[in-house]
Structure 1
């Protein structure tokens, strides 16, 4: 049953997350809320790991969630669930695109998908910002505005931004350095 649920949840994410891996984030939050397979904090860690490893973020995350939920077979099932809608849609589009490529409705549909993709990616960016730089749960408890901000993370983000502008390191070095800083300064409860 867990394999069917993994496939179904990631099939939905793959079907509706138009615009790339970051557009899957709202769906991953929904999976987290509805299944309890991972917390929002673990999702932030998965985003960091998926962004720093080769491959598409959505596929990396589906594989990771599937593996942690049901081992290697779960990783395969979740990954297949995520990519199946794309494969099906591409096969259908390839079959009919030539006949409809100049159709005003088809052009309009593709034009209409652009803002939806931007909106999904913007929502994902806001979610990452909220997880990384805000402490909403602590603020709800204390009510102190100063507790709303994760000052350690904000200072680190500013320092990394300055270092990136000044030294312009290779992205692999920047990712590796950020991972080391995260472990050394115990970000994410490491």
Structure 2
């Protein structure tokens, strides 16, 4: 099974409830089950957008925001999510972005001019896919990257508006 980028919007109260469940359960199961509408599977889209941005010399601040949006921040008391019921253990454990960080990321993503970045894509879809390291990709890379970026931006905008944290992991 291929690894994909996962994000979940959660309240601090929900995290506290999961932390308590992990601490009291016999196998440390946190009972992680955020509402389906507050989870998103970004596939590989943002990873490819980051690679393309790096190759095109896009401003480091944009690349840093994209990375932070899917990597989370260091720290955050969520070691209890390092559990097979949450993720497969083949990648680093889930990382947390507190509500203040989520607001920063949402603001930065809303300021980011994706069209200006994607204007550097070759017009030919095969060449554009190669530029993004989308091996074997047969669709329209511009549409693919735009869709995933738009999903990421909307996800963070909603989390920020609701004052929620974001948990990021690869599964």
Bin of the TM-score, shorter chain as denominator length: under 0.3
The structure whose RCO (Cα within 8 Å, separation 6+) is larger is: 2
| TM-score using structure 2 length | 0.26
In terms of Rg, which structure is larger?
Answer: 1
Q: Which has the higher helix share?
A: 1
| TM-score using structure 1 length | 0.25
